[in-house]
Structure 1
């Protein structure tokens, strides 16, 4: 069965959603290859041990990507386009950290011409110590339920 996420006409201001993930060494190593960023803060244990972090840290864009993953799943098959993303990194993410992302729908802008509208999102990501490691804002163009393609609704 196909999963179809939330449509524009099914959400409300102040609705929340998110997910939790434990970061592993593999995430840090994979991020080096994905981004082509082998800065020693991410790729060199000996170097990283001498920094204020005491160990290698996850790339900020990987934290940002993890945060947006829950948007993709919450609006699975109802999203037209992710329009904007602004992320601020507040604390390092280390292997072994368990991150919980929570997004809040801050505003809804109807776009009848597009058969849906824009959801303005505000999110944060916390580690297992309840420290906010990142905050972000985003905008996503969504379809109303009736406009979701039939192929996406088949089970």
Structure 2
């Protein structure tokens, strides 16, 4: 795989996986809020966030979920992959300084439709913070 071409459908095998990790920073949260328009004070205001069930600021769930897109678009299957659907279950908060690792694993290949079903989870350490499943369209050699 080079920087402009990902894996072909024929290269995928069930169980194949790839990951991407990033430490979430204050800058990431502020920039995501500005870009997305989600200025919920639980993400931006420590005094407010301390009054919530989280007892402090948390990162936007979709910021962490975006790391799944990083894996799909750059590693597995990689460039050329088209996102068709994504389910997400947010299981635990992510905080400034946490390193989030998005892991994608091939669960099923639907050759006739040029699609793959992928398990898409995010972890902080060993703790699953997001569990999900994606359906993607993958280029074929044919």
TM-score by length of 2: 0.90
Partner of 1:138: 134
SS at 1:88 equivalent = strand
Residue 69 in structure 1 maps to residue 56 in structure 2: no
Structure 1, residues 91-119: CA drift from partner, whole Å, max 9, x if none? Answer: 0010000111111101000137xxxx101
Partner of 1:118: 115
SS at 2:35 equivalent = helix
- In the aligned structure 2, how far is the partner of 1:94 from the partner of 1:67? 18
Alignment of 1:2-151 (within 5 A): 3=3, 4-74=5-75, 75-79=77-81, 81-111=82-112, 117-128=114-125, 130-144=126-140, 146=141
Q: Show structure 1 runs of 5+ residues with no match.
A: 148-155
Structure 1, residues 49-95: CA drift from partner, whole Å, max 9, x if none? Answer: 2323232111111111122211111233332x211111110000100
Larger radius of gyration: 1
Are the counterparts in 2 of residues 22 and 99 from structure 1 also a CA contact under 8 Å? yes
Aligned length: 139
Question: What is the CA-CA distance between 1:8 and the residue it aligns to?
Answer: 0.6
Q: Show structure 2 runs of 5+ residues with no match.
A: none
SS at 1:70 equivalent = helix
SS at 1:76 equivalent = coil
Question: What is the CA-CA distance between 1:45 and the residue it aligns to?
Answer: 1.5
CA RMSD of aligned residues (A): 1.5
